[in-house]
Chain A
Amino acid sequence: MAEIRALGIDVGSTTAKMVAIDGWGNMIWHFLEQADPRVDEQVEWFLLSVQEANPELTYYPGKGVEGIPLVATGYGRKLVQQATRQVTEITCHARGMYREMGHGGTLVDIGGQDSKVIGIGPKGEVVDFSMNDKCAAGTGRFLEDTANRLGVPLVRLGEVTLSASEEVSISSTCTVFAESEVVSLIAHGVPLQPILKGLHRSLIKRIVAMIRSVSFISPLMLSGGVVRNPAIPVMLEDEMNEKVIVPKFPQLMGAYGAALIALELYEPKF
């Protein structure tokens, strides 16, 4: 493995991610697991794993890896005491995505409980951004909760949705009310696939409204855990009439951006 020069960690509401990069900013190692409510313990475990894979590094518990800068992002960033600096998800996602794709555009990141749309300029700078309202509507949680209610495993959600030939309208964007609406539709004998497609449509429309609220810069890019659901990019393309670009590691863009910032800031001067 190439030498690790910087680390980035993204403590999200659903998953925690860590990325290690070399001196050229290439991603050389990453780690992803379900977010633990005890953030400090999880970060400790991540950093110990880094040391295990790279015995030449020295990790000081609670402090960090000697000589390796760490930038933390995500809603739990302030709890990462080992971090050299905390930076918001907006800046980190823009940074990671710009490096990964090599151009600006409009990035839609749909996370577990948080969605954001970021306008990235031609030099990788944040031009504008928008975040979801004070509830989980328009986030992965919306689909997760309703999929649970329908008894569809998350991994099959996209596939079942795309197999639908029809679609019913789900009027509510509120996760709780949508669940009641779904129960009512099932009681009326509506099949599963049209309901799922309607739920996805509801989420996509919410996201499109957010995209419309920022100054759109082409192309449209997508990241976040929800991208693993294949129905999301397909339906977003359909709704926006715009090709959607997805990076190789859509869930890691925040952590990758954090690592890149760490490298830029603390790169040794020769």
Chain B
Amino acid sequence: MSAFGWLTYAWNVQLLGPAALRINRWLSESRDKRGSRWNAETLAPPLKISFKNKELVGRHWLEGRYANLRHKVAWVTSGAPVEIFKALDYYVLYPENHAAICGTARVAVELSCEAENAGYSRDICSYARTDFGTLLSGKTPVGRLPKPDLLVACTNICQTVLFWYRVLARHFHVPLIVIDTPFVYYKEASAHALDYVMRQLEEAISVAERVAGKSLEERRLRTTARLSKMASELWLEIMGRNAHRPAPISVIDQFIQMAPIVEMRGDPETVDFYAAMLEEVDQRIRQGIGAVKNERKRLLWDNLPVWYRLRYLAEFLGEHGIALVASTYTNAWGELAPMIDPDGGMDAMARAYTYPILNRGTRYKLETMREMIERFDLDGVILHSDRSCKPYSIGQMDQRDRLLKDHDTPALLLEADHNDSRSFSEEQIANRLAAFVEMLGVEKWQRSAHWG
């Protein structure tokens, strides 16, 4: 690295940037303008930790702008075994998270159009189209994305990533590691499937070492895995606190606060962040603060969020005293915590990365939902039928049917898309949500009337 590059990195990433972000957080905390834009009559203000989250995420993307000056850069899928690359000192970027940021910033459609104009079908996942749009136009709300030196696609979340990362490899002319995780149809993955994943992880390490120009230190890998496990355990514990009534944080809060567990897993700051968050959540419980004031009904959310309509959903449900208490999606970043074994070597890593919910049968998801309904004492389920995420949405019709018939739990199928607002039909969604709310019997007039 040149002296100029070294200085530029040090000045922006280690001195000026963090200082500016910290000052911004201090100012925000002192003004405490939490929730000023969201309906404060029905919703609790966002967690104080939100300011820290903004700082952490801001620093991550700031570092990304200059990462090529000091680090090797790996672009990875959200289910990739990130510990290997963190331990080799890669700067790790998650294109899915970048796309989600574009979704919340409401620029995803503009970027998707760039991809569609270049010939990518609208039937492709909107995360992929958003990122292709950024590649083609250079537009991004995070300033600039670093060029990857390595691409890592793990198929434990979907098959689209295989083709998505091939496009990236062709665009950047860099090596692509594909980790193929066989689908777990029944309760346990077969021994030969786990062996197959383990051998791929070993191959991935040798490619990553070659690109990084250094060897993987076992001690560092163990430390990173330990930090990953600690953060995942804390995240799981935070979500578990929603068994309390009223639920201290909503699933909408979880969607906002989940960025570090996805894109900064393995960092010590992430552990500190979730430890502080757990403390704040416990404080809320002690004070009897609920995410939704006057909580009357508790629901489960299945599938990815609708990133560009988080506020709409929070406010609509909040007005009716409905709290989204649990979600299979946010749970996915915590439920594997017990499987992460820092001392278990590649064998344990292969196991943990073969078992994400999206790599398991639809029966497993149904069982997860049923278990959550009991544990969190839920009154119903909203199944987001996500046009972009086929692996998550497949089976939802049957799952809805089973929830209703076998578990007497009302469930609503809501058609939308996690990033493409063109697939969000406002009037139809509002009508279905309103009818579902009436069905749950939470309207003020329903509670006062002699119904039935």
Which residues on A are within 8 Å of B, measured CB to CB? 75, 85, 87-91, 123-129, 131, 133-134, 213, 215, 261, 264-265
Contacts and interface: CB of A to CB of B under 8 A. Distances in A.
A85 B445 CA distance: 9
Contact of B452 (A75, A124, A128, A131): A124
A215 B449 contact: no
B30 interface: no
Interface stretch (B170-178, B212-220, B257-265, B431-439): B431-439
Contacts of B445: 85, 261, 265
B114 to A, nearest CB: 25
A183 B425 CA distance: 31
Contacts of B425: 134
B7 interface: no
B438 A91 contact: yes
Interface stretch (B283-291, B302-310, B397-405): B397-405
A75 B445 CA distance: 20
Contact of B428 (A123, A128, A129, A134): A134
A134 B404 contact: no
B410 interface: yes
Given A85-B445, A131-B431, A265-B448, A90 B415 contact: no
Interface of B: 397, 401, 404-405, 410, 415, 425, 427-428, 431-432, 434-435, 438-439, 441, 445, 448-452
Contacts, number: 53
A128 B410 contact: yes
Interface centre among B397, B441, B448, B451 (most CB of A within 10 A): B451
13 contacts: A75-B427, A89-B435, A91-B438, A91-B439, A124-B452, A125-B451, A126-B435, A127-B410, A131-B431, A134-B428, A213-B401, A215-B404, A261-B445
- 5 smallest A-B Cβ distances: which pairs? A123-B452, A90-B435, A88-B435, A91-B438, A126-B439
A228 to B, nearest CB: 24
Contacts of B439: 90-91, 125-127, 129
A264 B445 CA distance: 10
Contact of A90 (B404, B438, B441): B438
Contacts of A131: 428, 431-432, 435
B449 A265 contact: yes
A129 B404 contact: no
A81 B401 CA distance: 38
A264 B425 CA distance: 33
B428 A87 contact: no
A264 B450 contact: yes
Contact of B434 (A88, A123, A126, A133): A88
Contact of B401 (A75, A87, A215, A261): A215
A213 B434 CA distance: 20
A134 B415 contact: yes
Contacts of A127: 404, 410, 439
A75 B434 CA distance: 12
Contacts of A91: 435, 438-439
A265 B450 CA distance: 8
B449 A129 contact: no
A14 B452 CA distance: 30
B404 A128 contact: yes
Given A126-B439, A131-B435, 7 more contacts: A88-B434, A123-B452, A125-B452, A126-B435, A128-B410, A129-B435, A213-B397
A213 B397 CA distance: 7
Contacts of B427: 75
A127 B445 CA distance: 18
Contacts of B450: 264
A125 B431 CA distance: 18
Contacts of A123: 452
Considering residues B428, B435, B452, which has the most beta carbons from chain A within 10 angstroms of its beta carbon? B435
Contact of A87 (B404, B410, B438, B441): B438
Contacts of B404: 127-128, 215
Contacts of B401: 213, 215
A208 to B, nearest CB: 15
A191 to B, nearest CB: 38
A108 to B, nearest CB: 16
B328 to A, nearest CB: 21
A127 to B, nearest CB: 8
A192 to B, nearest CB: 34
Contacts of B448: 265
Contacts of A264: 449-451
Nearest to A122: B452
A75 B425 CA distance: 14
A90 B425 CA distance: 18
Contacts of B405: 215
Nearest to A85: B445
A128 B397 CA distance: 13
Contacts of A75: 427, 431
A227 B30 CA distance: 64
Nearest to B429: A134
Contacts of A124: 452
Nearest to A87: B438
Contacts of B449: 261, 264-265
Nearest to A124: B452
A88 B452 contact: no
A237 to B, nearest CB: 24
B122 to A, nearest CB: 15
A74 to B, nearest CB: 10
Nearest to B452: A123
Contacts of B441: 125
B67 to A, nearest CB: 42
Which of A123, A124, A128, A131 has its CB near the most chain B CB atoms (within 10 A)?
A128
Contacts of A126: 435, 438-439
